[in-house]
Amino acid sequence: MMASPTVTIGILGAGQLGRMLALAGLPLGVRCRFLDAKPNCPASPVGEVIHEGFKIGPHLDRFADGIAAGGGVITYEFENVPVEAAEHLTEHATVRPSPRSLEVAQDRLRERELFASLRIDAPRHAAVHTLDELEVAVGDFPLPAILKTCRMGYDGKGQARIKSPGDAAGAWETIGGHHSVEGNGGAILDEMIPFERELSVVAVRGIDGEVRCYPPVENMHRDGILVRSIAPAPGVGEVMLAALEKAAAAVAEELDHVGVLAVEFFETKAKEGRPARLLANEFAPRVHNTGHWTIEGAATSQFENHLRAVLAMPLGSTEMMAGAHAAMVNIIGGWPDREALLRIPGLRVHDYEKSARPGRKLGHVTIVEASEGAMREKLGAVEAMVNKG
Amino acid sequence: MMASPTVTIGILGAGQLGRMLALAGLPLGVRCRFLDAKPNCPASPVGEVIHEGFKIGPHLDRFADGIAAGGGVITYEFENVPVEAAEHLTEHATVRPSPRSLEVAQDRLRERELFASLRIDAPRHAAVHTLDELEVAVGDFPLPAILKTCRMGYDGKGQARIKSPGDAAGAWETIGGHHSVEGNGGAILDEMIPFERELSVVAVRGIDGEVRCYPPVENMHRDGILVRSIAPAPGVGEVMLAALEKAAAAVAEELDHVGVLAVEFFETKAKEGRPARLLANEFAPRVHNTGHWTIEGAATSQFENHLRAVLAMPLGSTEMMAGAHAAMVNIIGGWPDREALLRIPGLRVHDYEKSARPGRKLGHVTIVEASEGAMREKLGAVEAMVNKG
Instruction: Please indicate, yes or no, whether residues A348 and A233 belong to a single structural domain of this protein.
Output: yes
Model confidence at B182: pLDDT above 80:
no
Average pLDDT estimate for A313-318:
97
Looking at B108-237, list the stretches that DSSP marks H as alpha helix, in order from N- to C-terminal side: 108-117, 131-139, 168-174, 177-180
Q: Is the CB of residue A166 less than 8 Å from the CB of residue A224?
A: no
pLDDT in tens, A359-374: 999 999 999 999 999 9
User: Is the CB of residue B338 less than 8 Å away from at least one CB of chain A?
Assistant: yes
Chain A contacts in chain B segment 271-310 (CB below 8 A): 299-300, 308
Domain co-membership, A260 together with A349: yes
In the predicted model, what is the mean pLDDT of residues B228-252? 97
pLDDT at A184: 73
**Given A4, A337, A351, which is nearest B353 (Cβ)?**
A4
**Non-local CB neighbours of A40 within 8 Å, separated by 6+ positions:** none
Distance from B89 to chain A by nearest Cα, in Å? 25
| Shortest CA distance from A324: residue in chain B | B321
Query: Is a pLDDT exceeding 70 seen at residue A257?
Result: yes
Q: How confident is the model at residue B279 (pLDDT cuts 50, 70, 90)?
A: very high
DSSP string, B346-371: T-EEEE--PPP-TT-EEEEEEEEESS
> What residues of chain A lie within 8 A of the CB of B300, using their CB?
346, 348
* Residue A272 lies inside a defined structural domain of this protein: yes
Q: Which whole number is the average pLDDT over B220-237?
A: 95
pLDDT tens digits for range A261-294:
999 999 998 888 888 899 999 999 999 999 999 9
A13-33: average pLDDT: 97
The average confidence (pLDDT) of chain A is 93
> What is the spatial order of strands in the sheet that B48-50 belongs to?
B48-50, B30-35, B7-12, B74-76
Same domain for A378 and A277, yes or no, is: yes
Domain count, chain A: 3
Q: Give the minimum alpha-carbon distance from B40 to chain A in angstroms, rounded to a whole number.
A: 13
pLDDT confidence of residue B185: 77
Residue A223: per-residue pLDDT: 86
For residue B5, what pLDDT band results from cuts at 50, 70 and 90? low
Nearest to A335 among B2, B322, B324 (CB): B2
Range A224-239 average pLDDT: 95
pLDDT at B364: 98
Does some domain include residue A102? no
Distance from CA of A9 to the nearest CA of B (A): 14
In tens, the pLDDT along A116-147 reads: 999 999 999 999 999 999 999 999 899 999 99
Residues A214 and A259 in one domain: yes
Residue A115 lies in a domain: no
Question: How crowded is the C-beta side of B357, counted as CA atoms within 13 Å?
Answer: 5
- For an interface test with A, give the residue of B23, B210, B353 to mutate (most A CBs within 10 A): B353
Considering the domain boundaries, does residue B115 fall inside one? no
Does the CB of A372 have a partner CB in chain B at under 8 Å? no
Q: How distant is the Cα of B220 from the closest Cα of chain A, in angstroms?
A: 22
Q: Dihedral sign for Cα A246, A250, A256, A262, please.
A: negative
HSE at residue A252, side-chain half, CA atoms within 13 A, is 28
* Chain B residues in contact with A345 (beta carbon < 8 A): 299, 316-317, 319
155-194 of B, contacting A, C-beta below 8 A: none
CA–CA separation, B43 and B40 (whole Å): 8
Mean of the per-residue pLDDT values of chain B: 93
* Average pLDDT rounded to a whole number, residues B162-182: 86
Angle of helix B238-254 relative to helix B108-117, nearest 10 degrees?
120
One-letter amino acid for residue A157 of the chain: K
Tell me which of B191, B219, B250 is where a domain ends: B191
Residues B369 and B304 in one domain: yes
For residue A156, the domain's CATH number is 3.30.1490.20
Mark whether A152 and A261 lie in a shared domain: no
Q: What is the pLDDT of residue B322?
A: 86
ipTM exceeds 0.85, yes or no: yes
Q: How far apart are CA B204 and CA B313, in angstroms?
A: 12
Q: Given an 8 Å threshold on Cβ–Cβ distance, is B5 in contact with A338? A: yes
Which chain B residues touch A2 with a CB distance below 8 Å?
334-338, 356
How much is the pLDDT for B194? 87
The last residue of a domain, from among A136, A165, A191: A191
Chain A residues close to B19, C-beta within 8 Å: 26
Among A200-204, A338-342, B177-181, name the most confident range: A200-204
pLDDT at A53: 95
The residues, any chain, with a CB within 8 Å of residue B378's CB and separated by 6 or more, are: B327, B344, B345, B346, B347, B367, B369
Q: What CA–CA distance (Å, rounded) separates A17 from A35?
A: 13
Cα of A309 to nearest chain B Cα, Å? 12
Does B109 fall in a domain?
A: no
- Is the pLDDT assigned to residue A358 strictly greater than 90? yes
B323–A contact, CB cutoff 8 A: yes
**Would you state the pLDDT for residue A273?**
81
Domain that holds residue A58: 7-95
Alpha-carbon torsion angle B237, B238, B241, B246, nearest 10: -150
Distance from CA of B38 to the nearest CA of A (A): 18
Mean pLDDT confidence for A30-45: 95
Same domain, B314 and B364: yes
* Integer Cα distance of A383 and A364 in angstroms: 12
Q: Is the pLDDT of residue B153 over 80?
A: no
Residue in chain A nearest B48 by alpha carbon: A45
- Residue A4 is predicted with a pLDDT of 56
- Work out the average pLDDT over B161-172: 93
Whether residues A314 and B343 touch (CB distance < 8 A) is answered with yes
DSSP one-letter string for B42-68: TTGGGSEEE-S-SSSSHHHHHHHTTTT
Identify whether residues B203 and B187 lie together within a single domain: no
Q: Which of B150, B176, B191 is the last residue before a domain boundary?
A: B191
Residue B329, phi-psi category: left (phi > 0), alpha (psi -120 to 50), beta (remainder):
beta
First-last CA distance in chain B:
55
Asked whether residue A388 is domain-assigned, the answer is: no
Cβ–Cβ gap B2/A342 under 8 Å: no
User: In angstroms, what CA-CA distances link A362 with A42, A230, A238, A387?
Assistant: 10, 19, 36, 11
Same-domain check for residues B174 and B276? no
Question: pTM of the predicted model, to two decimals?
Answer: 0.95
Rounded Cα–Cα distance for residues B41 and B143 (Å): 41
Instruction: Judge whether A242 is closer than 8 Å to chain B, CB to CB.
Output: no
pLDDT value, residue A178: 65
For residue A114, tell me if it sits in a domain. no
Give the pLDDT of residue B181. Answer: 73
* Separation in Å, CA A226 to CA A250, A328, A348, B4, B195: 25, 10, 18, 20, 55
Pick the residue from chain A with its C-alpha nearest to B355: A3
Q: Distance from first CA to last CA of chain A, Å, rounded?
A: 55
**CATH code: domain of residue B25:** 3.40.50.20
Q: For testing the chain B interface, which of A335, A351, A366 should be mutated: the one with the most B CBs within 10 Å?
A: A351
Which of A23, A29, A300 is closest, CB to CB, to B353? A29
| Best A8, A20, A26, A369 residue to mutate vs chain B (most B CBs within 10 Å) | A26
Q: Average pLDDT for residues B314-318, to the nearest whole number?
A: 98
Whether residue B1 and residue A345 make contact (CB cut-off 8 A), yes or no, is no
Task: Determine phi and psi for B130, rounding to 5 degrees.
Answer: -140, 165
Cβ <8 Å between A2 and B356: yes
From the candidates B321, B360, B386, which should be mutated to test the interface with A, based on the most A CB atoms within 10 A? B321
* One domain, residues B163 and B255: no
Q: Where are the beta strands (DSSP E) in chain A?
A: 7-12, 30-35, 47-50, 74-76, 125-128, 145-149, 159-162, 187-191, 195-205, 211-213, 217-222, 225-231, 259-268, 278-284, 325-332, 348-351, 361-369
For the beta carbon of residue B100, count every other beta carbon within 10 angstroms: 16
Interface check A368 vs B, CB under 8 A: yes
Rounded mean pLDDT, A55-66: 95
The residue of chain A nearest to residue B312, with distances taken between CA atoms, is A339
B33 touches chain A (CB under 8 A): no
CB contact under 8 A, A321 and B324: yes
User: What pLDDT band is residue B262 in, cutting at 50, 70 and 90?
Assistant: very high
Share of chain B above pLDDT 70, in %: 96
Higher pLDDT, A184 or B281: B281
> B364 and B327 in one domain?
yes
Residue B338 lies in a domain: yes
- At residue A302, the pLDDT reads 98
Question: pLDDT tens across A325-335, in order?
Answer: 999 999 999 99
Alpha helices, H only, chain B: 16-25, 58-64, 83-89, 99-105, 108-117, 131-139, 168-174, 177-180, 238-254, 294-297, 302-310, 338-342, 372-383
Domain match, B158 and B239 both: no
User: pLDDT digit string (tens) for B67-122?
Assistant: 999 999 999 999 889 999 999 999 999 999 999 999 999 999 999 999 999 999 99
Confirm or reject contact between A325 and chain B (CB < 8 A).
no
At B1 the pLDDT is: 43
Examine the pLDDT at B320 and tell me if it is beyond 90.
Answer: yes
Given pLDDT bands bounded at 50, 70 and 90, which one contains residue A1? very low
CATH classification of the domain holding A275:
3.30.470.20
